Structure 1
Amino acid sequence: MVPGRYSKMKAQAVYDVELISSTESIKHEFWPLDPIDPGQAKFPCCLVWTPLPVVSWLAPFIGHVGICREDGVTLDFAGSNFVNVNDFAFGSVARYHQLDREKCCFPTCLAAHKCKQGYQHSQYGTAITWDDGLQSSIRYFEHKSYNLFTCNCHSFIANCLNRLCYDGSMSWNMINVAALILFKGHWVDAMSIVRSFLPFVVVVCLGIAMVGWPFLIGLLSLSLLLVGWFVLGTYCIKSLLEC
């Protein structure tokens, strides 16, 4: 081989490696997010929650959830074959929890997975950006029928987080999505707390005044039945619930 030609090939190889490294670093740089602005209903990369009419009056830990794009626009599965965009169903956001994009897996190829289940993640449907993962879930749920007990807004969020492989997990479901917003969510303001719990307090007081303490026992039984249904469907009969 001609020495000059060898040097040229070697230089080309070094350039290619540097270019790949540079490209990879660019692809994994995230655009800075705008600050959370409840007044403008902008919650970049957040899970958001609001109470449901009637349902939350009886069980205040149950509500409607959505997820937000990088620009803060809210997305929520609010009906059969329909995902709301920038129009959060059932009222303004009461609670939110901002997620960390650094905890997502955005592979450019199978070898670029940083999660432990690369092949499974590829089969499920990977995303190269936050918004790309959310858009894939939107397309999937635009062909799904809404059902409060088997395929609801929590199912949509779980699907999004699984596509993002958030926190290195592809086991997101209705239960751990609800727990995430319940235990890590921040209230928007004091009025959000009031509108989330005041109807429940009023219902309890009226129920006790009209029926007595058996009303409280019945309300507790209803809550336990609801929790039992979702736990059973999620962990015991996995094909029962959508996620």
Structure 2
Amino acid sequence: MQTGEIKEESFSMEQKTIVEAVIDPRRARFPRCIVWTPLPIISWFIPFIGHLGICREDGVILDFAGPYFVSVDNFAFGAVARYLPLDRSKIPTLAVPWDESLRKSTVEFQHKPYNLLTCNCHSFVASCLNNLADNGRGEWNVVKLAAWVFFKGKWVDKKAILRSFSPLFVLILVGFLIGGSIFFIVWLVFSLALTGWFLFATFCFKSLIQH
């Protein structure tokens, strides 16, 4: 496994032969895919929010895992639960090679602090996809990515579904037994506040969230 600084040669565009990788969850290889796994606590309350990564053409996962740190082939917060293959032919104004787009965003985010609300793993993936467009002016943002993966993403297996949703059901059961209606009010307020922030910051003040 590799973590930390990404060497330029890892993204060399000068190779004349590229071995076409295939999706292989056992080896954590998801070429040209967005990948998702649940986050502790946050995903228990809001199951469509999780940790995102994006994969190189050889299937290796890159994810913005902390301040000034892009992880390579070591997906933070556990194994991939969902993945979404990306068809390059359906991405408009494809201007640069796939891995070159990821390399540019990786270098950029290695100099950025991590903030759950303004500069997070979704920001990194959106940046990678935006770099594919002319002048890096794509239309990807954190809300669009979250919705796209939640509705279109493929589950790795049935265990991944259980791992993603079982904490939510346990939380609801325990919360109801202990707190009753108060728990549901707190849960609703927390969920609406966090979801509302991302919607508000993304569409009303676009400069608040990195992408």
Matches within 5 A, 1:116-135: 128-135=96-103
Higher helix share: 1
Alignment match, 2:11 = none
Contact 1:163–1:170, Cα closer than 8 Å, also in 2 = yes
% same residue = 54
The reply to whether residue 100 of structure 1 matches residue 87 of structure 2 is: yes
TM-score (norm: length of structure 2): 0.87
Alignment match, 1:90 = 77
Aligned residues: 194
1:102-145: per-residue Cα shift (whole Å, max 9, x none)?
Answer: 2346xxxxxxxxx3xxxxxxxxxx85310010000000000000
Matches within 5 A, 1:63-212: 63-104=50-91, 115=93, 128-165=96-133, 170-212=138-180
The reply to whether residue 220 of structure 1 matches residue 207 of structure 2 is: no
1:141-183: per-residue Cα shift (whole Å, max 9, x none)?
Answer: 00000000000000001101100129x9711110001111111
2:25 to 33, 38, 48: 38
Alignment match, 1:241 = 209
Say which one has the larger Rg: 1
Contact 1:127–1:133, Cα closer than 8 Å, also in 2 = no
* Long gaps (5+) in structure 2: 1-16
Alignment match, 1:48 = 35
Distance in 1 (CA, whole Å) between partners of 2:33 and 2:204 is: 29
* Long gaps (5+) in structure 1: 1-29, 106-114, 116-125
Distance in 2 (CA, whole Å) between partners of 1:216 and 1:186 is: 30
- DSSP 3-state at the match of 1:47: strand
TM-score (norm: length of structure 1): 0.76
Distance in 2 (CA, whole Å) between partners of 1:216 and 1:160 is: 37
Superposition RMSD on alpha carbons, in Å? 2.0
